Amino acid sequence: MAVELKSDKDDILRGLGQLLEALAHDYDMALLVTSQSRADRLNTKVFQASGIGLAAVNSKGEMKIIVEPKIVKLSGEI
């Protein structure tokens, strides 16, 4: 599983790109972890459609899975 951690100031699109690249290179699952406030502003449809999971960490350090990651097999060839 590939995991990408993003703070409130980090570029989410870059994180999604990194996770998609990991899926293209034989990782079978991917998870983006960010703050609760940032996760609340994201559209979960993007994660549901791509199979990438989304998790949020609150101010107490508790992690909550918002979108479960799915097993994804991407081919490196077009």
User: Region 31-58: what's the mean pLDDT?
Assistant: 95
pTM value? 0.89
DSSP 7-52: -TTS-HHHHHHHHHHHHHTT---EEEEEEHHHHHHS-HHHHHHH--
For residue 13, pLDDT over 90 is answered with: yes
pLDDT over threshold 90, residue 17: yes
